[in-house]
Copies of this chain bind each other. A is one copy, B any other.
Amino acid sequence: MKQETRQEEIIRVAAKLFKEKGYSAVTMRDLATAMNIKAASLYNHINSKQDILESIIISIAEKFTVGMTSVLASDATCIEKLKEIIALHVEISSQNIYGMAALNHDWMHLEAQLNHYKKLRSDYENDFKTILIEGVNSGEIIDIKPDVMMFSILTTLRSLYLWIPKKEDVNLKELTNNLNEILIKGVVK
């Protein structure tokens, strides 16, 4: 395991603060206090507050892009691909609880990287929708507007970070199985 650099530590602590109050409400003084140093000292390790936000959001967004590329490359059925996407979100969310909050809530505060982020997100949603449309065409899934299905499933998956940390006894494998059931087969018996 590589030793965490001071820069990485700052970004990790910043993500935690961003989850609690949001990017705009967290000051460099708050971050410095959490690091037990003075605000000016932060600037020996990072260039700006904005750079911290970029590091957090873009790195996670690119993980999702890589994951989706892998899902698309498989020749699995639509339902199997959906299960792979669910597993992808559980995996990334559980390993980036704090970063997922910034990705979901603070992406609009990106500056130089805003368009890059928006393209990654838009491409991801289009790929997701394409999988659903193929499932409708092949008769695997119900013929309801793909937009509504994608919205319903994806917002649940995007909110996982809100929920995973609350249950310390949560078993990620069991959570993934439960989500497979609920999101694909519904709750009715």
A185 CB–B CB distance under 8 Å: yes
The answer, among B159, B163, B188, for a CB contact under 8 Å with A142, is B188
Task: Jot down 9 A-B pairs with beta carbons below 8 A, ordered by A.
Answer: A22-B109, A139-B189, A142-B185, A148-B178, A148-B182, A155-B156, A155-B159, A155-B162, A184-B186
B178 close to A183 (CB less than 8 A): no
In the complex, besides A22-B109, A185-B188, 14 extra interface pairs with C-beta distance below 8 angstroms are A20-B108, A21-B24, A22-B108, A135-B187, A139-B189, A141-B189, A142-B188, A142-B189, A144-B181, A149-B187, A155-B159, A183-B186, A183-B187, A185-B186
A130 and B15 CA atoms in complex are apart in Å by 34
Tell me whether A9 is interfacial, beta carbon within 8 Å. no
Verify if A173 is at the interface (C-beta below 8 Å from B). Answer: no
Min CB distance A189 to B, Å, is: 5
How distant is A81 from chain B, measured CB to nearest CB, in Å? Answer: 12
Contacting residue for A189 out of B140, B148, B182, B189, CB 8 A: B140
Q: Is the CB of B147 within 8 A of A188?
A: no
Question: Least Cβ distance of A157 to chain B in Å?
Answer: 9
- A53 → chain B closest CB, angstroms: 12
**Contacting residues, chain B, for A187 (C-beta < 8 A):** 82, 132, 135, 141-142, 144, 149, 153, 183-184
Determine the distance from Cα of A22 to Cα of B33 in the docked complex, in whole angstroms.
24
